[in-house]
Amino acid sequence: MKFNKLVPELSVSNIKKSLHFYTKLLGFKIEYSRPEDKFYFLSLEGSQIMIEEVGKKWFPGRLIKPFGRGVNFQIETRNMEKIIHALKTHNYPIFIKPRDRQYRKGKTILLYGEFLVQDPDGYILRFLKSMGKRSV
């Protein structure tokens, strides 16, 4: 397995709840783990993330929910509909409902479907599915 140059590590309040959310609802795969440390390295279609239950590590202050204020994690997927279905089946709330978006990149408009969901600790995950592009 090749590691991405940037891999966020999220501190979570309950590793079992977070692991269930990421693997069973979102479809992330466990690449490796250290269960004794309550740590898991996860991947989904090339995206990588680490989750670890809050312990006595390097925190600049007290963690208050929702965690991760001021940041969202963009995750590109080919299976957006499958993820949405799993969330709805488990009555898990979707933060921002699926919608079509356009983002300009130079003289090209990139077309995406997207939705946002918060994990059990409030981290915002923005899922994107490429729908093509067009010239400006």
Each residue's pLDDT, cut to its tens digit, for the chain (136 residues) gives: 899 999 999 999 999 999 999 999 999 999 999 999 999 999 999 999 999 998 766 666 778 899 988 999 999 999 999 999 999 999 999 999 999 999 999 999 999 999 999 999 999 999 999 999 999 8
Please identify which residue in the block is written with the tokens 């709805």: 88
DSSP annotation string for 37-90: GTEEEEEETTEEEEEEE--SS--SS---SSTTTT-EEEEE-S-HHHHHHHHHHT
Residue 3 DSSP SS3: coil
Q: Is residue 3 part of a domain?
A: no
Enter the tokens of residue 51. Answer: 């989750």
In a domain, 84, yes or no: yes
Domain containing 25 equals: 9-55+71-135
pTM above 0.95, yes or no: no
Task: Tell me whether residue 1 is in a domain.
Answer: no
Is 65 a member of any domain? no
- Identify whether 62 is part of a domain: no
Contacts of 37 (CB under 8 A, 6+ apart): 52
Asked, for residue 33, whether it belongs to a domain, the answer is: yes
What is the spatial distance between Cα 119 and Cα 115, in angstroms, rounded to a whole number?
13
CATH number at residue 99: 3.10.180.10
**How far apart, in whole angstroms, are the C-alpha atoms of residue 128 and residue 115?**
7
Does residue 2 sit within a domain?
no
Q: Torsion angle, CA of 66/69/74/80, rounded to 10 degrees?
A: 30
Q: Is 61 inside a domain boundary?
A: no
With residues binned 3-state (H G I as helix, E B as strand, rest as coil), the percentages for the chain, rounded to 5, are 20, 45, 40
Specify which residues 96 forms β-bridges with. Answer: 116
